Amino acid sequence: MTLAVRKVLLFILKVASDKVGFFFWLFIRFVSAILPLITIYLFSLVVRQLELKADFDLLLSTVLLTLIVRLVDNYLRLLSITRLENVIGHISFDIHNFFLRDLQLEAKVDRHAAIQAIRNFADASSLTLNLIKQPGIDSLVSFIFIPTILLFVDFPSFIITLAYISTYYAIDHYTTQRYGHLRDILNTKTEVYYAKLQDSNDFDLEQSSYSRHFNRLVKWGFTEWSALQHTAVSFYCLLLIYLVYSVSLGQKDISTLVLIVGYTSQTQVFLNSFSHIQDSLTDMLVGLKHLAANHSLASLNLSNLV
């Protein structure tokens, strides 16, 4: 996360009216995100007990424990998500109120452009916070715990996973830079289009320009996600080949394979989430830069943030 992005997030938290509620439910969401990792372990434990032909009572108790963990996970996850959605909805209005309280423009075109810039930033901020809520918290938990677990369970799997994460991050960093450039251009075209749309029926040129740049962004999204998903598949197959070979030689049992594959599958999920959040953070930063460039908004010296 860049310094500029951190400043933007701090700014959003600064204008938020319910900081206590946001951080409390974010913590509950963090706790709920740990529980699926426990479920994966319990499932592999059931497989292990079946391999060892354990007593049915022991198997049943493990299955019941898995059920309890899943029920608690569902309750805490759904509760925290719904509460966070409510808080984030109010943060969008907090952003609107912050910028609009000093907005006094006589020309309609200038006001429309300023309001659209505020709307772009508020929408991007809301989307980013909702992505952090889910699946961002899940990604953070997976990033912290999964490599650590694999380090103690199987060192070669840890190395493969670490190489996978590093390669994925390098590709994502490059593609996000290009995405930010295209998003910056598109936001400009959006502001121009909606400003013209509200004042005239002669908006064909602006609509055509917006559509062209929107298509450029969509095409780049296909390129970006193709590269990332092909990387994920390549490392997943490499790890699976290694595990299958180890099991065939008797070096590992089936329960260990289930455990490692379960955790590495979660790795792809959290990396995909990470990419979505990176793009959303870029949207938010671009939106704030457009607000900083709009001299009609005097509520804050935004140059300090960007």
Residue in this structure with the two tokens 């022991």, named with its chain if needed: 58
CA 71 to chain centre: 24
- What does the pLDDT read at residue 227? 92
- What does the pLDDT read at residue 296? 57
Amino acid occupying residue 127: L
Task: Write down all domains in the chain, each with its CATH number in brackets.
Answer: 3-17+88-304 (1.20.1560.10)
The contacts of residue 168 (CB under 8 Å, 6+ apart) are 228, 231, 232, 271
> What averages of pLDDT result for each successive group of 10 residues across the chain (306 residues)?
72 87 92 91 90 89 94 94 92 84 63 73 81 82 87 91 92 89 84 73 76 88 91 92 91 88 84 83 76 58 50
Residue 279 near residue 177, CB atoms below 8 Å: no
* Whole-prediction pTM: 0.73
- What does the pLDDT read at residue 299? 47
> In the structure, how many helices (H) and strands (E) does the chain have?
8, 0
- What does the pLDDT read at residue 64? 96
